[in-house]
Amino acid sequence: MRYKNSLQIAFCLIITTMLALTSHIYISEGVKPVLEAMTQGLHQGSYSPFIIIAAYGTAFITVGLIVFLYYHTQHLLPIKSNFLKALIVACILLELKGNLIRQPLMDLLVNYSFGMQGLQPFAFVGLNMLDKWVSAYLLAIGLVYLCPKK
């Protein structure tokens, strides 16, 4: 029975990864010229107050789900140190969105292949991912220190 479940999990992993990544690649490449044409000549300035309010409003949905999941699963982290617990939770949150390993690695590879040299691709990755890494760690700190125990 355990062997059958392992095979089914492996099959699920392979098929769902292939479906998700293949659709991502073909759709993003297909719409790229259209998006570039649509945004050509637009000035990207500071965010308006309306955009900021909408961002906070919709963030409550995402963070609410994360708090719910953490509340119901925190007992599964067998770590005493709150610092390490927050670090692990931040890493989980980042990697769920592909922002811990996958996106930085792909940014490095793509930027090298497009001609960036030396440390420039690493600086690009660091600056591009900084907001995601910091916000994930702050969210994890909030979860670990503020979320009640179940």
Report if residue 29 sits inside a domain. Answer: no
Residue 33 lies in a domain: no
Q: How far apart are CA 75 and CA 79, in angstroms?
A: 9
The predicted-structure confidence for 53-103, as pLDDT tens digits, reads as follows: 999 999 999 999 999 999 999 999 999 999 999 999 999 999 999 999 999
pTM: 0.79
Q: Could you tell me if residue 28 is inside a domain?
A: no
What is the tens place of the pLDDT at every residue in 22-46?
A: 998 889 899 989 888 887 877 778 8
Give the number of domains in the chain.
1
Domain contains 85 = yes
Domain that includes residue 99, residue range: 52-150
Domain annotation covers residue 91? yes
In a domain, 103, yes or no: yes
